[in-house]
Structure 1
Amino acid sequence: MQGRGNAVKDVELSGVPEDTAHGHPAATVKITNHTDRSASYAVQVDFEDSSGKTVETTVTALRNLGPGQTATLLTFGEKPAAAPTTPKIAKAQRD
């Protein structure tokens, strides 16, 4: 986990069907604050093709998530995907 940030364990991803996202890579980003204070998060999501190559990257941010709270966000790629992609957590940082 070194180099991936201090909040990777606070983040879960699930894919969004590309037909629902109008052909764009998309993911649901679920963040749970496991600390005892409010925290802000930045999550980098890489969308990979079937060979594991990153074809697009997005960053999602959330401010002031309370202790023990969970938030669910959506992140979308800018360009339509030529083939199906899989979202992966590249980095997740908590401040």
Structure 2
Amino acid sequence: MRRTTIAVVAAAAVLGLAACDPVANSTTAKSTAAPVPATTAGAPAAAAPAPAGEAAAPAPAPAAAGDGDKLKDVEITGCVVDAVLHWPSAEVKITNHSSKASNYMVQIEFLDATGTRIAEGLAATNGLAPGQASVQKAQGASEAKGKVSCKVIDVTRYAAP
């Protein structure tokens, strides 16, 4: 319970800082990338082959000019469902491709087999230097039943103070 409380307080602090940041170049990008399916064994879903008779997920569409470069900074490297709690989580690799140290907030949605959103999670990192990468975890807090996929739905990047 204490670990969950600390994680929630930390996420709220990051969101609070972002909401109060007057940086003029603060922008948000929306994802149109295909969801990444989850596994229950803890292995990254990207390593799992597509089921027989199903095509692999298509490559993400190129992002629009402007905010789209933030989407290139984020990659889902794992999408799993915890074997005990049955909560979904996503491992997210954030790489700063900008020319300035930046703070990131990445919103992940967790979808069931029908495409219905069952949970959301947030991954964040601060002070990421140009060219530097950080691996973070976005945790959903709802029980996942059956197949689950993970999708980046929002990326916020702003210059670190």
Q: TM-score, normalised by structure 1?
A: 0.86
More strand by share: 1
| Identity fraction in percent | 31
1:49 is matched by which residue type in structure 2?
Answer: D
- 1:68/1:3 CA distance change after superposition, 3 Å: closer
- 1:57/1:19 CA distance change after superposition, 3 Å: closer
Alignment of 1:23-38 (within 5 A): 23-38=86-101
Contact 1:44–1:92 (CA under 8 A) maintained in structure 2: yes
Q: Say whether residues 1:51 and 2:77 are aligned partners.
A: no
Structure 1: 5+ residue stretches without partners: none
Q: Say whether residues 1:81 and 2:81 are aligned partners.
A: no
75-84 or 23-32, larger mean C-alpha shift:
75-84
SS in structure 1 at match of 2:80 = coil
Contact 2:92–2:135 (CA under 8 A) maintained in structure 1: yes
1:11 is matched by which residue type in structure 2?
Answer: V
Shift of 1:37: 1.0
Shift of 1:22: 3.7
| Residues 61-93 of structure 1: per-residue CA shift (max 9 Å, x gap) | 211101100000111111221223110000111
Structure scoring higher RCO (CA < 8 A, sep ≥ 6) equals: 1
Q: Which runs of 4+ in 1 moved over 2 A?
A: 14-17, 19-22
> Which residue is equivalent to 1:93?
156
More helix by share: 2
User: Larger Rg: 1 or 2?
Assistant: 2
> Which residue is equivalent to 1:40?
103
Question: How far apart, in 2, do the equivalents of 1:79 and 1:54 lie?
Answer: 10
Question: How far apart, in 2, do the equivalents of 1:22 and 1:53 lie?
Answer: 20
Q: TM-score, normalised by structure 2?
A: 0.53
Q: Say whether residues 1:68 and 2:131 are aligned partners.
A: yes
